[in-house]
Structure 1
Amino acid sequence: MREHDHVPSARERRTRRFDDDEPQFLKRTRHPVPGAGFDTNADTDSPEVGDRWSSWDQAVQGPAPHPEWLVTELAAVDSELGVLKTGKEADVHLVRRHVPGTDRSCLLAAKRYRDAEHRLFHRDAGYLEGRRMRRSRENRAMEGRTAFGRQVIAGQWAAAEFGALVRLWEVSREVGSIAVPYPVQLLGTELMLEFVGDAEEGQAAPRLAQTRPEPAELRSLWDQLLDALTVLARAGLAHGDLSPYNLLVHDGRLVLIDLPQVVDVVANPQGRDFLARDVRVVSNWFRSRGLPGDLIDPVGLTTRLLGEAGIR
């Protein structure tokens, strides 16, 4: 048989198709995210060193209509400005998304969950109850905490937080009694959020634990918290790790953050306990700051919230 008459085997055809497609795949992925394993400067069209093209077109996008302040142009560039917060499960970075040569710009908080080589969410077993993946392989990997399983869990935390924020953002547009950062996008284990704080100075809003509110403001914040807890309960949810450290105060408004461990109080066998702990922790803080005791009844509040969630 002559050389040019050679008929490639099925294995050769599969290999050739993969090899032929790979350069095109790499070319299409011109918006690398940190940790993705791509050289951000390999493309001659790449932005300045330290910057990256906006990943908006690759990501799961936040709810429409998108806020007017949000930059969604495909020509936008994301510039890293520093770290806002470090934690055991994720680090939060300050990112400026802008269109070069224009005045289109916004600040975003990029929350990046730990990869499989680092410590993930502490006490994750309890929070994962009631969350099951469709594929048994993923469930087994999560239960065995294999490297793949830990990566699946990391993705679950990012997706859970994004989903909760989308749901609560849409509720806030309807009832206005709960405030959360706008969920901009989700890509892998990176969640991009609205920056809550002074955009001109790049100064994040203080956590509730850092504030010393006067009596009138303290009462206002407590009332806002009750409204937020009620909205969560009516959605069948509990924050799961609520404390003065994951509540922001911005222009007198209480803003809920850090929602990866959001708990379905009905599906999770420990849902009641998580809700009761949320109420107890924040009630203790407000009492320690001088809120009158007759306004604080953790047991009664927990019972009422469980009723709002449909649990008697």
Structure 2
Amino acid sequence: MRDHDLPALERRSRGKSRFDDDEPQFLKRGRPTEPLADPDSVPDPDTGERWSSWDDAVHGPQPHPDWLVTELAAKDTELGVLKTGKEADVHLVRRAVPGSDRSCLLAVKRYRDPEHRLFHRDAGYLEGRRVRRSRENRAMAGRTAFGRQMIAGQWAAAEFDALARLWEISAGYDRIAVPYPVQLRGTELMLEFVGDAESGEAAPRLAQLRPGAAELRDLWAQLVEALRVLARAGYAHGDLSPYNLLVHRGRLVVIDLPQVVDVVANPQGPEFLARDVRVVGTWFVARGLPAEQVDPGTLTGELLREAGIR
């Protein structure tokens, strides 16, 4: 039987009427709708404030520093951009409890969308980093869209984990050489702000300074101790230079550790470590520190022994 042999009403039932508003609507496969916005993450249009994200983030090591605001009633206010980088931008945020004197400044590192990152030479750094699911490992190796997102998440998680471990290891020393890792939420990393808490001015980079002889010796001694702490944790910074070392009130602080290298698991680990030492050693010698006090080869060997390789 053909369609023109059927009654008119039955023929219409085979097709969709333009007035069938009650029919269910199905989503097309592979095209999920946008998730509803979290009302707590939407800033107030007048003040720019939003509720603190402390409640649903991974927290830094305990005990938390006294200066850190952990109250759930706190609000975060964006104050501007501190710096832009190859893989992330760093913003300045004030976290404060309304109606009280409880507040602190935080450096908030937000990793860019994988399509907009400027750092693409990540293969060497990622050696030794594995996830449990083979699908995710294949995606990362193939640099698929999903794999690039996984890598972006690994940068943030690797930096947070390294900072937390280094903070705990160096807690027994007089000077802690890394900023306190406040919290991790997705690809957003909140850190201790290193600088003037009143003015919001960030501490200068080592590359910006022209220290005198005594200060130069002290900064080198601090750097060597910081490198020892890294080595004891099994790490090399991986991209160490005078541009990712801050100096605040005489304290040397190591920053920018997303590409931190496991010197044991990564076959290129010793090479990354040697390069770190060579780069910073060259800067100190150029500023007047006697070359015999630096000796990159000797220091690299000592650090490898600290890491348990030699």
Q: 1:142 aligns with which of 140, 143, 153?
A: 140
Between Structure 1 and Structure 2, whose CA radius of gyration is higher?
A: 2
Would you say the 8 A contact 1:30–1:53 is kept in 2? no
- Match of 1:272, SS state, is helix
- Is the partner of 1:117 in helix, strand or coil? helix
**Per-residue Cα deviation, 1:27-60 (whole angstroms, up to 9, x for no partner):** 9x4432xxxxxxx26xxxx684522111000100
In structure 1, the residue matched to 2:181 is 183
1:200 to 188, 191, 198: 198
Q: 1:31 maps to which residue? A: 40
Cα 1:169–1:48 change in 2 (3 A) is farther
Q: Give the aligned partner of residue 69 of structure 2.
A: 71
Listed one character per residue, the Cα deviations across residues 119-165 of structure 1 (whole Å, up to 9, x for unaligned) are: 25331000000001111111111111111111110100000000000
Change (3 A) 1:245 1:236: same
TM-score between both structures, scaled by the size of structure 1: 0.85
Alignment of 1:10-89 (within 5 A): 29-32=38-41, 40=42, 48-89=46-87
Provide Cα deviations, 1:179-202, integer angstroms capped at 9, x if missing partner. Answer: 111100000000000000001010
Match of 2:287 in 1: 289
Contact 2:175–2:251 (8 Å) recurs in 1: no
Match of 1:82, SS state, is strand
Unmatched tracts of structure 1, length 5 or more: 1-14, 16-21, 33-39
Counterpart contact for 2:88–2:117, Cα < 8 Å: no
Aligned-partner residue type, residue 286 of structure 1: F
Out of 200, 206, 210, which is 1:212 matched to? Answer: 210
Structure 2, gaps ≥5 residues long: 1-25, 27-32
Instruction: State the one-letter code of the partner of 1:278.
Output: D
Distance 2:203 2:150 in 1: 31
Q: Equivalent residue for 1:12? A: none
Query: 1:117 Cα deviation (Å)?
Result: 2.7
The residue type paired with residue 90 of structure 1 is A
Q: Distance in 2 between matches of 1:279 and 1:177?
A: 20
CA separation in 2, counterparts of 1:183 and 1:176? 18
TM-score (norm 2): 0.86
Match of 2:297 in 1: 299
Does structure 1 conserve the Cα–Cα contact (< 8 Å) formed by 2:236 and 2:262? yes
Report the residue type matching 1:76 in the other structure. A
One-letter code aligned to 2:283:
W
Which one-letter code corresponds to 1:172 in the other structure? S
% same residue: 77
Residue matched to 2:93:
95
